[in-house]
């Protein structure tokens, strides 16, 4: 089993989503000790889409400049990590009611027509099928699934759009109000992963 472990929180060791993703990966590797884990910390930065990115990846230039080639290489690397993974473990800290910009930028890098999805007469079809995703949702005051939550539904939609429809959330929400209760709810969800 190949696991892609993605963190995006900017709060380092204080991050609840990082703790949860580490716990999920630990449970998965305890069940399958031969699992291979690739960890990517998106808070280190992910290049955003711009005109150069578009020209390099979407327009399909035949003679990319060195800067364009670097963008092609990064996008290909990020996409290959997902293609090679059987399981994705994604940290989803909530900032201002939505996902971090670096996680959105990662999604932009891997959502590539003809590679990770395609358009058909029946509509879009995701090409990254046969994978599971575990999402560690951590929020100080944004209840998961509430009208204030503009992150979990979007991430579930984008993963499904790419063909990843087996998605499980481990939520620690309401941390600012009752941290112990939020962590207890997350622990209950974690315990189901081990079952």
Residue numbering of the annotated binding site for FMN: 15-17
CA distances, 115 to each of 49, 67, 86 (Å): 17, 22, 17
Q: For strand 123-126 and strand 166-173, is the pairing parallel, antiparallel, or unpaired?
A: unpaired
Half-sphere CA count of 166, side-chain side, radius 13 A: 9
**70 burial level (CB within 10 Å; 0-12, 13-18, 19+):** middle
Residue for token pair 């960890």: 39
Per the annotation, binding residues are 15-17
Phi-psi domain of 111 (left: phi exceeds 0; alpha: psi -120 through 50; beta: other): beta
| Cβ atoms within 10 Å of 168's Cβ, excluding its own | 12
């Amino acid at each position: 089993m190949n696991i892609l472990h993605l963190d995006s929180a900017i709060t380092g060791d204080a991050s609840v989503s990082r703790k949860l993703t580490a716990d999920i990966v630990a449970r998965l590797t305890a069940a399958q000790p031969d699992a291979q884990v690739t960890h990517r910390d998106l808070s280190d930065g992910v290049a955003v889409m711009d005109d150069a990115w578009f020209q390099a990846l979407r327009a399909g230039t035949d003679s990319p400049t060195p800067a364009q080639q670097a963008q092609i290489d990064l996008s290909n690397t990020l996409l290959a990590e997902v293609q090679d993974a059987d399981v994705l473990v994604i940290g989803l800290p909530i900032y201002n009611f939505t996902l971090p910009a670096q996680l959105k930028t990662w999604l932009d890098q891997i959502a590539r027509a003809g590679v990770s999805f395609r358009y058909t007469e029946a509509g879009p079809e995701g090409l990254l099928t046969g994978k599971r995703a575990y999402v560690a949702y951590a929020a100080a005051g944004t209840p998961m699934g509430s009208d204030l939550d503009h992150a979990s539904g979007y991430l579930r939609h984008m993963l499904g759009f790419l063909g990843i429809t087996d998605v499980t959330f481990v939520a620690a929400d309401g941390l600012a109000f009752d941290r112990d209760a939020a962590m207890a709810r997350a622990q209950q969800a974690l315990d189901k992963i081990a079952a």
